[in-house]
A = this chain, B = another copy of it.
Amino acid sequence: MSSESGTRTEIVAVGRELLTGRTVDTNSAWIATRLGALGAWIERIVAVDDDPALVAREIRDARQRGASLVVTTGGLGPTFDDRTLAGVAAAIGVALVEHPAALAFVARRYAELAAAGAVDDGTLTVPRRKMAVLPDRAEPVDNPVGTAPGVLATDGDFTVLALPGVPAEMREVFENALPMVRPRLAAPAHVVEREVPTGCGDESVITLAAAHAMEVVPGVYLKSLPTEFAPGCDLRVRISARGTDRDEAEERTTRAAHELATELARLRRA
């Protein structure tokens, strides 16, 4: 992993519906795209069952492998199977405690929902209070869509951001957490992506030219975009270049495209 790669990050998606295949995990790709643009380097995405021990294990393993940021999604709500925060607390070795600020948030949300007629009443019942029980010293993050706050928990240089699982809530909480997360991210690498046609339908040839371009141009990654074989098929290659500024990334992209085309022509003449 080069120093250009960014903050080492893993994503832990929590929920049995992901493991039965009933729900496709679109959250992780969304988080990866947004965080990648902000300076994170996503090394691994894992989906596990709603079990605090499993969540804790994934977070601990990620940290042990060198991740400095773990983002979880799912398991923050009021239901019996929303147990992600117990896993987060165990992973960083703190207790779960009721947070006054989180309780105030939950109380306010249920008061709003009761006033709007969306729930029968706004009382702080046991399942509702449960959403204000966070890892000790964590910070709640505003959730303008649902009732469970997001959670930012830190332990030295290690950070866990726990997001809800409902996509609309996840996205809002992510954006609200950004001011807290950003200081913990590396300076974003500048990334330029370009797709180029190859005039060739055969990945087994294109790969040789792509490997050549990656060898001679630093900081670039080329990937042919496979499709079904067809006569006259013109496969495309996606060039991703990282650089310390945009000009460097652009220049690397252009050089890689040139090297790819030249080598491809040479191979097909050979």
Residues of chain A having any CB pair with chain B under 8 Å: 16-26, 28-34, 36, 42-49, 54, 77-81, 113, 116-120, 125-128, 145-147, 165-166, 168, 200-208, 210-211, 214, 221, 223-224, 226-233, 240, 268
Contacts and interface: CB of A to CB of B under 8 A. Distances in A.
Q: Which 10 A-B pairs have the closest CB atoms?
A: A21-B32, A21-B33, A79-B207, A78-B204, A117-B231, A127-B204, A118-B229, A21-B29, A45-B47, A46-B46
Contacts of A203: 77-79, 127
Contact of A45 (B34, B46, B240): B46
A129 to B, nearest CB: 9
A138 to B, nearest CB: 21
Nearest to A221: B16
Given A18-B29, A31-B21, A45-B47, A232 B201 contact: no
A240 to B, nearest CB: 8
Main secondary structure of the interface of A (DSSP, over half): mixed
A127 B211 CA distance: 11
A23 B24 CA distance: 12
Contacts of A207: 78-80, 127
10 contacts: A16-B221, A18-B45, A21-B33, A22-B29, A24-B29, A79-B224, A80-B214, A118-B233, A120-B205, A127-B203
Contacts of A31: 21
B80 A228 contact: no
Contacts of A204: 78-79, 119, 125, 127-128, 147
A42 B26 contact: no
Given A79-B210, A118-B229, A229-B113, A23 B18 contact: no
A43 B29 contact: no
A166 B211 CA distance: 21
Contacts of A77: 203, 226
Contacts of A230: 118
Contacts of A42: 19-21
